[in-house]
Amino acid sequence: MKIALPSRNNHIDDHFGHCEYFTIFTADTKTKEIIASETVSSPAGCGCKSNIATILSDMGVKIMLAGNMGEGAVRVLNSSGIEVFRGCSGDVKSVALKWLEGSLVDSGDSCHAHEHGCHNE
């Protein structure tokens, strides 16, 4: 199972579309252990308008553990076969381990105000 987390300094970045990079963990869901990790550079622009969902899906990512995310990004990720859990914060490895333990649920937190203007087009 591959899990992606929008990251900045090894912590969940609060804004999916403007994260520094994505941390990708390969996890064994039976043993609940992380067996590999890698990073993927974040594309320029907003997450819902970039090709990051396709890139992550092509890598085999099935889960996105994120902080705040707009509904457009959630839809794009879902349509690429990636389930989204919002409301996450903290160290990326700790968050991934919490998900593996089954203690994370989607908060439903959506980004509605975009002062950076990428959703006004």
Domain containing 52 equals 2-101
Q: Of the candidates 6, 8, 11, 7, which has an alpha carbon nearest to the alpha carbon of residue 94? A: 11
Say what the pLDDT of residue 112 is.
Answer: 41
Say what the pLDDT of residue 84 is.
Answer: 93
The reply to whether 38 falls in a domain is yes
Tell how strand 83-85 and strand 2-8 pair up.
unpaired
Per DSSP (E only), the strands in the chain are 2-8, 11-12, 21-28, 33-41, 61-65, 83-85
The reply to whether 108 falls in a domain is no
Q: Give, for all 121 residues of the chain, the pLDDT tens digit.
A: 999 999 999 999 988 878 899 999 999 999 999 999 999 998 765 555 678 999 999 999 999 999 988 888 889 999 999 999 999 999 999 999 999 999 877 766 554 443 433 433 3
Say what the pLDDT of residue 114 is.
Answer: 39
Residue 84 sits in a domain whose CATH number is 3.30.420.130
Q: Indicate whether this model's pTM tops 0.75.
A: yes
Contact 64, 40 (CB under 8 A): no
